[in-house]
Amino acid sequence: MSQHLTLDQIRTFEGKYPKQLWALFFTEMWERFCFYGMRGMLTVFMVSQLGLDDVTANLQYGAIQAFVYAFTFIGGVFADKILGFQKSLFWGALLMIAGGLVIAFSPEEMFYIGICFSIIGTGFFKPNISTMVGQLYRTDDSRRDAGFSLFYAGINVGALLGGVLMVYVGKYHSWSWAFGLVAVVMTISLVNFALTRKSLGPIGLSPIHPDVPANKRKLMEIATYIGSLIAIPFILLLVTNTRYTDLFMYIIGPATLVYLAWEMRKFNAQENKRLAAALVFIFFSILFWAFFEQSGGSLSLFALNNLKHTLLGIPMDPNVVNNSSNSLFVILFAAPVGILWVWLSKRGMEPNSVVKFGLGFLLLALAFYVFYATIFFADADGVTSLDVFTLGYFVITFGELCLSPIGLSLMTKLSPHSVQGLMMGMWFLASAYGQYVAGLLGAGMSIADENATKMAKLESYTSGYLQLGMYALIAGLVLVAISPFVRKLMKGIH
């Protein structure tokens, strides 16, 4: 491993972005292609190929997604303590490639086993790359947010390509090919990282103290690899029985909070206040993702059953639209929204992070009112307008842009260095709870009866969306109200 570059050399870059950001951008882009492609296929595949009813598919989707995000927490801790971010990313990518190949080999029989490989692989891959992006900058570098915004655009280019291609290949050609694409695309991601990792210098190398003997370090690493493979049968048990998922979710969150409290005794009052502010953001992000993540669950089934196959008069598969319109809107509007914040900031009018979070919820509420409104455009068979549905995604995107990019950046700003991996993990763990609750909410809106009419399904889903709109509205108003208090905790960090 060459160590030519020092951290200082990396961080004193000219211009807007460090060159290492592009390497991480493409590595993440291809991984997100797989992640969002898979996410968009899950419920459609489970209903059409595995024969699950809508309620079960929603719960199963929530469980799988919850474990994906819960394992990012565990992966973050192992990267912090043993592997370092670079090796963690390599191992994660290899497991995800294996997962894609396992399902491609036999989609119906091997689906859940392949999913377990993907869950652990994403856990090792995902939190660590975001942390590496944060480490390219000095703490006080004002270009950090711009870097995360660009990185976020990479995530969405991947999500757009994967969202369109994988569900299309699966629905119209072959599910084996669709899952096989995961292995191909993850290999591209891994090769890209292998060729560019030298430029990262010391970022993401092993955190184990240099005094620890080499053979002991090797042993700890190998134990981590073997341990993650031994975990596969356990995860299979958890994912296939949603009862166990409930139990897991009841335990991991409280356990994490206890662990964080234990770590907090090392910090001073100011650092702990900032961590308390981070926890407020984490709590509200659980609610945000519980609503937002209907896109992979109930909205995916809504698209499968209740939407016309034309968008603005052009023939279009509703599931392709459901999977990709959000990413497309993010790519188109992330930069203009970023420019708007800068413009407002120069005039001393930029809302602080807490108010931005609140705005995110208000826009989320509006989007669900739009999804609810699709019922007024339905024909007698319960099939409604894809145009109105897409408008809902247009609105939801602006909600996401108020919240998600700043969330990643805030976690790196509000946490002391020694717990950054842990806090990034907690941010993703909040998403796990969001996904889990999304599955429960989606199941609550679904009708288990396979013979239910499309009209009955439409009425059930839209009344559910109306309720979610109301909850999101309340959460947004609460956030705006408590913003002065949270800002005090943040101690000068915006």
Answer yes or no: is pLDDT of 101 > 80.
yes
What are the pLDDT digits (tens) for 37-60? 998 889 999 999 999 999 999 999
Q: In the chain, count H helices and then E strands.
A: 16, 2
Q: Which residues have a Cβ under 8 Å from the Cβ of 232 and sit 6 or more positions away?
A: 113, 116, 117, 120
Q: Could you write out the three-class secondary structure of 230-285?
A: HHHHHHHHHHHCHHHHHHHHHHHHHHHHHHHHHHHCCCCHHHHHHHHHHHHHHHHH
Q: Which residues pair with 210 in a beta bridge?
A: none
Q: Which residues have a Cβ under 8 Å from the Cβ of 100 and sit 6 or more positions away?
A: 34, 114, 118, 179, 180, 181, 182, 183, 184, 186
What are the pLDDT digits (tens) for 321-331? 999 999 999 88
pLDDT at position 494: 64
4 confidence band (pLDDT: 50, 70, 90): low
Q: Calculate the CA 358 to chain-centre distance.
A: 20
What are the pLDDT digits (tens) for 245-289? 888 888 888 988 898 889 888 888 888 999 999 999 999 999 999
Mean pLDDT of 214-229: 92
Q: What's the rounded Cα separation, in Å, for the pair 57 and 439?
A: 9
Mean pLDDT of 424-442: 88
CA distances from 176 to 38, 51, 111, 121 (A): 12, 17, 10, 20
What are the pLDDT digits (tens) for 290-308? 999 899 889 999 999 999 9
pLDDT at position 248: 87
Answer yes or no: is pLDDT of 379 > 70.
yes
pLDDT at position 387: 96
What are the pLDDT digits (tens) for 177-195? 999 999 999 999 999 999 9
Beta strand residue intervals within 244-385, DSSP E: 310-311, 314-315
Tell if the pTM clears 0.95, that is, is over it.
no
Answer yes or no: is pLDDT of 175 > 70.
yes
115 confidence band (pLDDT: 50, 70, 90): very high
Considering 17-21, 354-358, 424-428, the range whose residues carry the highest mean pLDDT is 354-358
Amino acid identity of 230? I
Mean pLDDT of 374-383: 94
Mean per-residue pLDDT over the chain, rounded: 88
Mean pLDDT of 217-223: 92
Answer yes or no: is pLDDT of 30 > 80.
yes
Give helix 19-48 / helix 84-105 axis angle, nearest 10°.
30
Domains of the chain in start order, with CATH, are 17-490 (1.20.1250.20)
Confirm if 100 and 34 have CB atoms less than 8 A apart: yes
Answer yes or no: is pLDDT of 78 > 50.
yes
pLDDT at position 372: 96
